[in-house]
Copies of this chain bind each other. A is one copy, B any other.
Amino acid sequence: MPPETLTPERILEATEEVLRRYGPAKATVVDVARALGVSHGSVYRHFRTKAALREAVTERWLDRTSKELSVIVATEGPAPERLDRWLTALFEAKRHKAGDDPELFATYMTLIGESGGVVDRHVTDLEAQLTTIIEAGVSQGTFHTPSPATTARAVFDATGRFHDPCYAPEWSRPGITADFEAVRDLVLRGLRG
């Protein structure tokens, strides 16, 4: 049986597994190569440096959330309902990432600290999705804003407590859902106002 082709995706999967097992301080490219049964040279052919590999695996982790949310952006229907679903799904996704596998979450927080550019791109992605929903609301006559992109950024900032990792310890607190709903309602009223 010929060996499976070494794809970037297979390398990234193995990298996440190695990070989960050894933690971000100890995980090396040699560990990743060993897990795949290949030479570390083969890994370096796809990712030229250890930093590039770590950045790519972080981007993949963040992109999982963006992809989930893009489905909501692509649906039809009233913009306020879609915005509500989008904000709820973002909070849920982040809450699950933090709560279901706290060690891996902490690992990614370390990686994110190493490569600010990845987070900036992630935030840009999410704000672009929000802008699309808000523009739809303006077309439908339910949202009112002269600048959907500026307002999208304001909505993202205003809901930070429910998606920014610096608040992760709060997400398991009783009452956090009520807090989220109060901010979401305020934001939706602001868009309609």
Contact = CB atoms under 8 A, between A and B. Distances in A.
A189 B158 CA distance: 13
Interface string A133-160: 0000000000000000011011101111
Contact of A190 (B153, B159, B160, B186): B186
Contact of A182 (B154, B159, B191): B154
A73 B187 CA distance: 23
Interface string A165-193: 01100000000001100110111111111
Quickly give the copy total for this chain.
Answer: 2
Contact of A189 (B153, B178, B189): B189
29 contacts: A150-B178, A150-B182, A151-B182, A153-B182, A154-B179, A154-B183, A154-B186, A155-B186, A157-B161, A157-B182, A157-B183, A158-B158, A158-B159, A158-B161, A158-B183, A158-B187, A166-B166, A166-B167, A185-B190, A186-B187, A186-B190, A186-B191, A187-B190, A188-B190, A189-B189, A189-B193, A190-B190, A192-B193, A193-B193
Contacts of A161: 157-158, 160
Interface in A69-113: none
A150 B186 CA distance: 10
Contacts of A191: 186, 189
A83 B153 CA distance: 21
A187 to B, nearest CB: 6
A133 to B, nearest CB: 15
